[in-house]
Amino acid sequence: MSQMAHAGKKPLLWDYLTTVDHKKIAILYLWSGLFFFVLGGIEALLIRIQLMFPGNTFLVGKTYNEIMTLHGTTMIFFVAMPLVFGLMNAVIPLQIGARDVAFPFLNALGFWLFFFGATLTYVSLFTGSAPESGWTGYFPLSDNNYTGHGLSYYAIGLQISGAGTLIGGINFLATILNMRAPGMTLMRMPMFAWTTLVSSTLILFAFPPLTVGLFLMIFDRLFGSHFFDPAFGGNVVIWEHLFWVFGHPEVYLLVLPAFGIFSEVIPTFSKKRLFGYHSMVFATMLIAFLGFMVWVHHMFTVGLGPVANAIFAIATTTIAVPTGIKIFNWLATMWGGKIRFTSANLFALGFIPTFVMGGVTGVMLALPPADLQFHDSYFVVAHFHYVLVGGVVFGIFAGLYYWWPKIFGRLLNETLGKLHFWFFLIGFHLTFLIQHYLGLWGMQRRIYTYLPGQGFELGNLISTIGAFLMAIGVLFFVANIAVTFRKGAVAGNDPWDGRTLEWTLPSPVPEYNFLRLPLVRGLDAFWIEKQAGNKEMLPAEPLGDIHMPNASFLPFLMSLGLFIAGLGFIFKDQYNPAFLYVGIGGLAITLLTMFLRSVIDDHGHHIHHEEVESMEGGASLS
Amino acid sequence: MMNEAKTVSLPAHPERATMEGKNKFLGFWLYLAAESVLFASLFATYLALRHSTMGGPTGKELFQLPTVFLATVLLLTSSMTSVMAILSMRENKASRMKAWFIVTLLLGAAFLGLEIYEFTEYVKEKHTFTSSAFGSAFYTLVGFHGSHVLFGLLWISTLLIRNWNRGITLYNAPKYYLASLYWHFVDLVWVFIFTVVYLMGKVG
């Protein structure tokens, strides 16, 4: 009879393996991201346990390097990226009034590429040698002479997941530019949609240099080329350039969506419209532009010369201006508002002072003479954790508490949420504030121990205690999820008295999102209708059949092919040239699935409007 | 569905007439932007390493401009024939479009054959992927382009085989269009390779 009835009968696992629904892909991204967050967090605790006392032998040498490298790689690529992508997938089509993303098939492919890339990187833990030259993979530390085969896992794993990210970025750009509801002009888009648009542009231009860098790394390691080998005329600084041309925009493409989340959360819980919307949009673009102009500030000590250093120092410090505009706009939004201290809003409020501190140390690091002193010290570690945890992780938590009811239909428990927030915030500052001082006192980063009497004992002890407080905070969050699934309060359409389009829809949202596309009459579209006394949006179209994409197993297979290919190439390096054929076989699987995708027509299907109407009348839609 | 298009008249831009077509059109341009950055990174790497020959032959000694010039002519002509194919598509003339795409394929294959011949000649002169950083950078940049040409040939062939007995429809018109767009991009990159690698290499 109907596609929806069939969809309801699908086994859960098969449903998720073949789904092209952006809301289910969001859930896949969120669960994988949270899983890797726990892994990366355990790695962080291991690092902190080792550094708790001088001369500790809990985790030393190569093992320490491996855990430290995995922690950094995991947190950036397998935690921050998928969680941000998960929230984007869950929210963006709803916020702009679209029935779907522009390319549902590619959306699924993006997720599976990320998933198999991350899994491949972690296979290294079980085959003898994990990556060990830091998440930046600097040469010559990353070449065959100095490291085991872990770096091949790093290179190929990141290559596969990076392809997924690029696909996702293109998808969101096309979605936001092409699929907005009638009346939703660019300057009426919610800030989260804006920051997603801009950060997708960053993905578009930042990931290809990483792709090239990783290819060159793979060629050097597996096929004997000499890009980074000075003995044959290679140059290690090329790696640093390629890595940071990607790496610096990367932190902005992570933090801009977090800024977008705060720009949704703060107005909603202040009951005011966002102050300075236009300047927020402008500041977002300016941050993105400047984010590309500053990669050399990671290379001040390489010796590129005073002119290069000066130009990049100025560009870097300039970023403080648009960021400051944003901070003041958030403060002005709260000014005179009716502020509700929900868990989501607490994370937004905790973010502001935390991120400002990270910004201030950023300006300190942006000055080359000072940077020469801070370089490779714990001051740098403290700075980037203030920015990435204080910005991105706080943003993700705010977004999770804010949109959880829309995604799963149930409200997260507020008491547990507040315990989570306070343990996490206090633990965070305890862990990382002292690390600024440890850096100034002379403690280097990347070391696995220090001697008694160097003056690092107390600082490291405090830092480790803080890390455990953060972990307790996360445990409260995990408990919160479990409690919510068992007996969470049912959310309803609009639990927060929201301002944007997603709150007009049932929670969880039906497969086709909007029964009829809404007519948008201004910024904060739903709020405008509420002020006008309307309970829902005006429709922009008559009721009709809704066109939906077909589910497909091909994205999973395509990514699995690359996973097998990656394993083959890595094992060729490690054991036996014959594994090259496994690698080629894996590539063949991918090419074959691409061929199938080309020759099998996929016109999608329609949900008939009679059917939709009967379902809208009923209660539960899953 | 729309498969019986021979009797149906097409809009002026069949490749952008549907929402799906519009999305593909925009998405593919964005993808090409990413590809540009990819090739820009490879060019930068090549420029940094092109003098690191480590005693092996230099580009000045290696490059045979007549061969490369012939390859360039073949590839740029194939760009023009793919334009002819798309113009035929917009006029809903399926067999003329197919013919022009076949000419495009032949020219592209001839280009690829010349490139393989060129590579084998260089290897005979001890200029290999592993002989120096210059060798690694040269084969990576030019080879990346070559593999793009190969991919384009496979893509266009698949499209032609799949749609051989079907007219031009709103469903397959965007696919033809994107394949030709990709082909133009690959040719454009070659213009830069011809200039940066071969002409600059000949100057020294």
- For A384, counting Cβ atoms within 10 Å of its Cβ (0-12 exposed, 13-18 middle, 19+ buried), the class is middle
pLDDT for position A577: 83
pLDDT for position A8: 55
- Angle, CA of A510, A163 and A75, to the nearest 5°: 80
Average pLDDT for A543-559:
93
Give B63 to chain A, closest Cα distance, Å. 20
Task: Note the pLDDT tens digit of each residue in A520-542.
Answer: 999 999 999 999 999 889 999 88
Alpha-carbon gap, residue B117 to A482, rounded angstroms: 64
Average pLDDT for A247-267:
96
Task: Note the pLDDT tens digit of each residue in A404-423.
Answer: 999 999 999 999 999 999 99
Mutate to test the interface with B, among A198, A212, A217, A292 (most CBs of B within 10 A): A212
Asked which of A293-307, A602-616, B104-118, B161-175 is least confident by mean pLDDT, the reply is: A602-616
Cβ proximity of B104 and B82 under 8 Å = yes
Task: Note the pLDDT tens digit of each residue in A508-518.
Answer: 999 999 999 99
Task: Note the pLDDT tens digit of each residue in A130-181.
Answer: 999 999 999 989 988 888 888 999 999 999 999 999 999 999 999 999 999 9
Contact state of B133 with A235 under an 8 Å Cβ cutoff: yes
Given a cut of 60, whether residue A245 has pLDDT beyond it is yes
Does B129 contact A at CB distance below 8 Å? yes
Does B34 contact A at CB distance below 8 Å? yes
Tell me, what DSSP letter sits at residue A79? I
Amino acid identity at A594 = M
Given a cut of 70, whether residue A622 has pLDDT beyond it is no
Does B134 contact A at CB distance below 8 Å? yes
Alpha-carbon gap, residue A393 to A41, rounded angstroms: 12
């209708």: which residue's tokens? A529
Question: With helix as H, strand as E and coil as C, how does A383-451 read?
Answer: HHHHHHHHHHHHHHHHHHHHHHHHHHCEECCHHHHHHHHHHHHHHHHHHHHHHHHHHHCCCECCCCCCC
> Quick one: CA dihedral A505, A508, A513, A515, positive or negative?
negative
Show residues of chain A in contact with B136, CB under 8 Å: 219-220, 225-227, 234
Cβ proximity of A69 and A122 under 8 Å = no
A vs B, Cβ pairs < 8 A, gives 113
Contact state of A223 with B27 under an 8 Å Cβ cutoff: no
Average pLDDT for B16-36:
93
Contact state of A208 with B34 under an 8 Å Cβ cutoff: yes
Average pLDDT for A218-234:
93
- pLDDT band at residue A196 under the 50/70/90 scheme: very high
Cα within 13 Å of Cα(A447), Cβ side:
19
Given a cut of 70, whether residue A564 has pLDDT beyond it is yes
Contact state of B158 with A166 under an 8 Å Cβ cutoff: no
Give B199 to chain A, closest Cα distance, Å. 22
Backbone phi, psi, residue A536, to 5°: -145, 175
Q: Which of residues 135-194 of B touch A (CB under 8 A)?
A: 135-137, 140, 155, 158-159, 161-162, 171
């197993």: which residue's tokens? A553
pLDDT for position A615: 66
pLDDT for position A601: 87
Alpha-carbon gap, residue A437 to A430, rounded angstroms: 12
pLDDT for position A5: 44
Show residues of chain B in contact with A292, CB under 8 Å: none
Closest in A205, A227, A601 to B137, CB measured: A227
Average pLDDT for B100-125:
96
Average pLDDT for A43-48:
97
Does B64 contact A at CB distance below 8 Å? no
Cα within 13 Å of Cα(A564), Cβ side:
16
Show residues of chain A in contact with B159, CB under 8 Å: 598
Does B203 contact A at CB distance below 8 Å? no
CA-closest candidate to residue A249, choices A214, A211, A182, A204: A204
Task: Note the pLDDT tens digit of each residue in A50-75.
Answer: 999 999 999 999 999 999 999 999 99
pLDDT for position A617: 55
Closest residue of chain A to B46, computed from CA coordinates: A227
Contact state of A205 with B34 under an 8 Å Cβ cutoff: yes
ipTM score here? 0.93
Closest residue of chain A to B32, computed from CA coordinates: A204
Mutate to test the interface with B, among A144, A176, A200, A232 (most CBs of B within 10 A): A232
- pLDDT band at residue A4 under the 50/70/90 scheme: very low
Cis peptide bond upstream of A508, omega within 30: yes
The structure's pTM equals 0.94
- pLDDT band at residue A621 under the 50/70/90 scheme: very low
The alpha carbon of A193 is separated from its chain's Cα centroid by a whole number of angstroms, namely: 15
- Angle, CA of A128, A131 and A135, to the nearest 5°: 160
In chain A, pLDDT over 70 holds for what percent of residues?
A: 97
Average pLDDT for A243-266:
96
């054991």: which residue's tokens? A575
Q: Taking each helix axis as running N to C, give the angle between helix A191-223 and helix B19-49, from 0 to 180 degrees, rounded to the nearest 10.
A: 40
What is the token pair recorded at B106?
A: 């032949």
Instruction: Render A139-190 in DSSP notation, one character per residue.
Output: TTTTSTTT--THHHHHHHHHHHHHHHHHHHHHHHHHHHHH-PPTT--GGGS-
What is the token pair recorded at B149?
A: 């040409």
- pLDDT band at residue A3 under the 50/70/90 scheme: very low
Instruction: Render chain B in DSSP notation, one character per residue.
Output: ----GGGSPPPS-GGGSSHHHHHHHHHHHHHHHHHHHHHHHHHHHHHHHTT--TTS--HHHH--HHHHHHHHHHHHHHHHHHHHHHHHHHTT-HHHHHHHHHHHHHHHHHHHHHHHHHHHHHHHTT--TTT-HHHHHHHHHHHHHHHHHHHHHHHHHHHHHHTTTS---TTTHHHHHHHHHHHHHHHHHHHHHIIIIIIHHHH-
Residues 6+ apart with CB under 8 A from A482: none
pLDDT for position B42: 97
Given a cut of 50, whether residue B1 has pLDDT beyond it is no
- pLDDT band at residue A616 under the 50/70/90 scheme: low
CB atoms within 10 A of CB A7: 16
Closest residue of chain A to B171, computed from CA coordinates: A603
Asked which of A277-291, A328-342, B14-28 is least confident by mean pLDDT, the reply is: B14-28
Task: Note the pLDDT tens digit of each residue in A305-363.
Answer: 999 999 999 999 999 999 999 999 999 999 999 999 999 999 999 999 999 999 999 99
Given a cut of 80, whether residue A575 has pLDDT beyond it is no
Closest residue of chain A to B172, computed from CA coordinates: A601
Residues 6+ apart with CB under 8 A from A140: A146, A228, A229, A230, A236
Tell me, what DSSP letter sits at residue A473? H
Alpha-carbon gap, residue A579 to A567, rounded angstroms: 9
Cis peptide bond upstream of A140, omega within 30: yes
CA-closest candidate to residue A508, choices A344, A620, A402: A620
pLDDT for position A618: 45
Task: Note the pLDDT tens digit of each residue in A412-456.
Answer: 999 999 999 999 999 999 999 999 999 999 999 999 999 999 999
What are the beta bridge partners of residue A489? A411
Alpha-carbon gap, residue A551 to A16, rounded angstroms: 9
Contact state of B129 with A232 under an 8 Å Cβ cutoff: no
Alpha-carbon gap, residue A531 to A199, rounded angstroms: 32
pLDDT for position A609: 78
